[in-house]
Amino acid sequence: MIVIRAQSAGFCWGVERAIDIARDFATSGKRPVYTDGPLIHNSQMMDKLQAEGIREVGDYQSSTQLDLNAGQENAVLVVRAHGISPERRKYLKSLGIEFKDATCPDVGIVAGKIRLHAKKGYNTVIFGDRNHPEVIGLLGYTEGRGYPVQSEEDIDALPDLGDKVVMVSQTTMFTDDFQKLGSHLRQKYPEAVVIDTICGATKDRQGDIAILFEEGVEAFVVIGGHHSANTCKLALLARKTGLPTYHIETSAEIEETGLNQYRKIGVTAGASTPEFLIRDICDKLAAVEPRETAGQA
């Protein structure tokens, strides 16, 4: 089988940076290294990090109180790439152990834009999943005037926000959807400030789907956690091409997919998918003999 891998497949730089920060602490003798919620939404990578002394505490949305022993001399608490609200940051710093913020700089830029406009009295509309940790964190910068939306219906249901409205996006959303919703928002609020804050890594992944399609792949394999938001979005985008799309987490799932009916596969992966999983799956796909030639000399 011919396997064409997307150039952007795998860790985005923000996730890689957060992992490197946690690993640097672990290898320098910090024990344990705590992370406020899962550092990365991939169970295989989390198992690997735990074996290195990096322990997840709290929950996915960074909403629970943490049961830590204050004053642990060698412990450190790392904030993951998704970022947190100012209130959460204040709480974590009060726990009495070393604190390190590994928020993705791209997310930090979005937070900065929200904070700047909020101080000027703007209401903030955020295109994103209200239950996603990034959006939860960003809402903390809106001074109580933040409104997550995902559809035109959500925008139509907004209260009267007055003349000062700014719109931003969760960094991992679809660019086309953001542009459409931005235009719809301006129908209701003509003076709205619409700022495209979708990160470059996300746009690269979306663009690579189109490139793979143009190269004539017969189906897509999207690698990543089944509960990873950015991987699920990537699989959805691949399905929009009309080609069969298989979202798999490990190479053990290959046999269940019936991929041996294809000769040419396009492979991509979410921003939280480690290289060792991508390489393993690509190698095993390359070894699959298409059904039409199976058994032939």
Q: Which residues are identified as catalytic?
A: 134
Residue of 98, 54, 104 whose CA lies nearest to 84: 104
Taking the mean position of all CA atoms in its chain, how far away is CA 277?
17
Distance (Å, whole) CA 128 – CA 151: 9
Alpha helices in the chain (DSSP H): 13-27, 43-51, 86-93, 105-119, 133-139, 152-156, 175-188, 200-214, 229-239, 254-257, 275-286
Q: Exposure pattern of 197-233 as b/e (b: 16+ CB <10 Å)?
A: bbbebbeebbebbebbbeeebbbbbbbbbeebbbbbb
